[in-house]
Amino acid sequence: MTELIIDISYKCNSNCKYCQWNSKNSQKKKIDIPFNQVLLSRENLKSFDISRIILSGGEPTLANHLKDIVTYYHRLLLPIRLITNGINLSLKKIKLLTKWGINEFVISIDAISYDTYSTMRANSEKIFQKTLQNIKNLANFHMYHPKIVSYIGLNVVLTSINCNWHIINQILSFARDLKFNQVKFQPVYDDGYLSKNAPELKLTLKNSIELEEIISNIKIKPFELNFTNPLEFWMDLKRHLEGKNLSPRKCFLSNNVILLHKGILKFCFWCQHTRYGPINHSYSHKDVLEIQNKFQNNLEKCRVAPQCFCLQPINHIWS
């Protein structure tokens, strides 16, 4: 099963302090991805063995061609997952998006109390409350229409603020009460923007103490399989913050995830040694296997960093 993650817009209406695509910054850049850079041909979808489309960004609900993109992939009978900050996801919007063909939703939120949330996302309390209400509406819709919305998940970016058992447990209980399928945590990473604009949110060695508490709590009370990151994720993160190397050979992306970024098919944003190539090139299945083989054979050239956690599956273990 190979998932195709497509960044369809780098515009955003949220102001996450750690992200270069936040509303203040993206308005300066006004980046929307041209339509012809987001549609992979039917033949290429087959060669790459794509079985799910994941629409991401930026904030994908702001993409100019969202309806046309969704309709295109829906006609090819692929499940479509939308990763959104949830600000625009009213019940009316959910109904519209599902009508077009989206059947899975992941909402990114970093805390469920405004005091904590606002230290990471500089949005008003009104926007925060609206997002929470949208999350509850989505959960309700999922409960009553499981054939229309078959999956709901939360994505949580871990920073020095919310890497704390109390906050993590609050998020997990909230998601469980609303019958979310999954809560995925991923460490914040620094593409230069974080260091410059919100260095206080960086995860550092100091967070090892909180991680120890998280680890001991999860050991006592493990969660159901794949509901959230396993114990090993937290242990790997602690090892990483303590300066220990994690093996790039464990990277799971090879034939599982493909990233479509501004018209180029890649393994991830950061891998410099191997990529597939332009979207408009015609790839045979043999080409794809050869490129994946090359990627696999060169993985030693990578260095595992916080960003490497982001595209791996929820049960991924590095060590």
Q: Are the C-beta atoms of residues 118 and 128 closer than 8 Å to each other?
A: yes
Residue 186 engages ligand SF4 in binding (rule: CB under 6 A): no
Nearer to ligand SF4, 123 or 207 (CB): 123
Give the per-residue contact string, 209-248, with ligand SF4 (x = CB under 6 A; - = no): ---------------------------------------x
Q: Which of 2, 20, 25, 48 is nearest to 290 (CA)?
A: 48
Nearest 10 degrees: Cα torsion 206, 250, 18, 278: 160
* Rounded distance between C-alpha atoms, residue 148 and residue 56, angstroms: 20
Nearer to ligand SF4, 22 or 255 (CB): 22
Candidates 42-50, 51-59, 133-141, 146-154; binding stretch for ligand SF4 (CB under 6 A): 51-59
Residue 128 engages ligand SF4 in binding (rule: CB under 6 A): no
CA distances in angstroms from 261 to 33, 55, 244, 258, 267, listed in the order given:
9, 11, 30, 10, 10
For ligand SF4, the binding residue among 5, 12, 45, 62 (CB under 6 A) is 12
Residue 279 engages ligand SF4 in binding (rule: CB under 6 A): no
Residue 9 engages ligand SF4 in binding (rule: CB under 6 A): no
**Which residues, numbered 81-100, are part of the site for ligand SF4 (CB under 6 A)?**
85
Q: Which of 200, 231, 210 is nearest to 166 (CA)?
A: 210
Residue 22 engages ligand SF4 in binding (rule: CB under 6 A): yes
Residue 268 engages ligand SF4 in binding (rule: CB under 6 A): yes
For ligand SF4, the binding residue among 234, 267, 276, 283 (CB under 6 A) is 267
Reported as half-sphere exposure (CB side, CA atoms, 13 A), residue 122 has a value of: 11
For ligand SF4, the binding residue among 57, 60, 153, 187 (CB under 6 A) is 57
For ligand SF4, the binding residue among 258, 271, 279, 288 (CB under 6 A) is 271
- Residue 64 CB, nearest approach to ligand SF4 (Å): 16
Nearest 10 degrees: Cα torsion 54, 71, 130, 156: 0
- Residue 267 CB, nearest approach to ligand SF4 (Å): 5
For ligand SF4, the binding residue among 270, 298, 314, 316 (CB under 6 A) is 270
Residue 117 engages ligand SF4 in binding (rule: CB under 6 A): no
How crowded is residue 42: how many other Cβ atoms within 10 Å of its Cβ? 10
How crowded is residue 202: how many other Cβ atoms within 10 Å of its Cβ? 18
- Residue 298 CB, nearest approach to ligand SF4 (Å): 9
* Rounded distance between C-alpha atoms, residue 139 and residue 179, angstroms: 7
Nearer to ligand SF4, 188 or 218 (CB): 188
Residue 16 engages ligand SF4 in binding (rule: CB under 6 A): yes
Residue 302 engages ligand SF4 in binding (rule: CB under 6 A): yes
Residue 58 engages ligand SF4 in binding (rule: CB under 6 A): yes
Residues binding ligand SF4 (CB under 6 A) = 12, 14, 16, 19, 21-22, 57-59, 85, 108, 248, 251, 253, 267-268, 270-271, 302, 304, 308, 311
